[in-house]
Amino acid sequence: MATGTDSEALVKDLESLRAEKQRLEERIIELYTLYRVSKTLSLSIQLDEVFSHSMKLIGDSLGFDRYGVFLVDEEKQGLALHVSHGLPSEESAGVRFHMGEGVPGRVALLGKTEIIGDLSAAPDCVFSPQRKISAGSTLCVPLKISSDTVVGVVGVHRNTVDGFPPKEVILFGSIAEHVAVAFENARLFQKAKVLSYKDPLTNLYNRRYFFERLDKEIERACRYSRMLSVLMVDVDNFKTYNDSNGHLQGDEALRKISRLFVMNLRTHDVVARFGGEEFIILLPETGPENATTAAEKLRSRVEEEKFDGEASMPLGKLTITVGTASFPKDAKDALQVVVSADGNLLKGKAAGRNRVNG
């Protein structure tokens, strides 16, 4: 028969087991949360995916009332709010903090997690320098890719005072580490992708990117019954210029011509180096007449520009010849429109160069 002492011991053991069970359940939840975060973010190679997945994981796992991800700019002068939840659009649009300004700016500058348990007693701003949240509590965690490199800040808010228990702060810090790694991986992937599409000499797009965009624009033109045009450009007698002035001066001339093209076209036009001294340009939403106008503008701008050593050229100037073609007027697919523009370029060169032919 159990004595009172035995009963008390059993009760204590039972309470201890229940407490241990609760700790194990909490730990399982934490580990599962981190597993989900790690698995989900490891599959994200686009920055937009990292942001959207991060927001969903933060909301689903910890149930914050408001939260946002800030990123430090390249000059490390400040940080901008890139994505948020629970904030009115007019409050989140274009939000920026200087380094050291407000809670996010201070966390970015010092690289240390900061908790404000009662915002009513704190003067600092959390999500916007222009508007202070005066109730509840906030937690801001730095996104670090190394021990001393902060790439961003995650800020979260709860409407309750002292809304962040220590265990949750630790868990959120671990989540932030995964977000930082995913962000850096996506950033490096994006940078490598951009470089793979760029011509190293002129910093224009390369042929690979051009044809990918051309295929997409052809599909869009077909879907919405629109037109597009392609310009094929050749620098006239460029071998003569190179032989007279040297390849370094020739490279500088190609860079200068590239800048002229970009400056005198629309932002959504695609300028690419086709190879050597040839360029190819995609003009979306552009028919034959406007394509000829754009091509003539480029031709005249190059003719007017001063290039070192151009007096040695046959025409006394460094000039270009442009062949134009339009879809669907001159061709029925992407390859045909390029071939048509190239054919018109050859005709323009045969006719004397320094002209537009379409």
What pLDDT, on the 0 to 100 scale, is given for residue 322?
A: 97
pLDDT class of 2 with cuts at 50, 70, 90: low
Confidence bin at 55 (pLDDT 50/70/90): low
Nearest to 157 by CA among 131, 182, 177: 131
The residue type found at 192 is A
Could you tell me the domains of the chain? 4-195 (3.30.450.40), 207-357 (3.30.70.270)
Residue where the block lists tokens 């999500």: 127
CA angle 259, 260, 262 (to 5 degrees): 65
Give per-residue pLDDT as tens, 151-163: 889 888 888 898 8
> In this structure, are residues 138 and 155 in contact, taking their beta carbons and an 8 Å threshold?
yes
| Spatial separation of the C-alpha atoms in residues 46 and 6, rounded to whole Å | 62
Six-digit token string for 157: 């808010």
Q: What is the pLDDT of residues 304-347, one digit of tens each?
A: 999 999 998 888 899 999 999 999 999 999 999 999 999 999 99
Per-residue confidence (pLDDT) for residue 61, from 0 to 100: 63
Higher-confidence residue of 36 and 281: namely 281
Sorting pLDDT into bands at 50, 70 and 90, what band is 4?
low
Token readout for 4 is 């009172």
Q: Given this model, what pLDDT does residue 181 score? A: 78
**pLDDT band at 28; cut points 50, 70, 90:** very low
Name the pLDDT band for 259 (thresholds 50, 70, 90).
Answer: very high
Of the pLDDT bands very low, low, confident and very high (cuts 50, 70, 90), residue 47 is: low
> What pLDDT band is residue 258 in, cutting at 50, 70 and 90?
very high
pLDDT at 186 over 80: no
Burial 152-169 (b: 16+ CB within 10 A, else e): bbbbbbbeeeebbeeebe
Active site includes 277?
Answer: yes
| pLDDT above 70 for 20 | no
> How sure is the predictor about 38, in pLDDT bands with cuts at 50, 70 and 90?
low
Res 49: pLDDT? 67
The encoded tokens of residue 61 equal 């796992």
From 177, 184, 217, 277, the catalytic residue: 277
Exposure b/e, 312-338, CB count within 10 A at least 16 = b: ebeeebbbbbbbbbbbbebbeebeebb
Q: List the structure tokens of 139.
A: 């937690």
- Condensed to tens digits (0 to 9), the pLDDT of residues 139-150 reads 898 988 876 788
Does residue 295 have a pLDDT over 80?
yes
Given pLDDT bands bounded at 50, 70 and 90, which one contains residue 31? Answer: very low
17: pLDDT strictly greater than 80: no
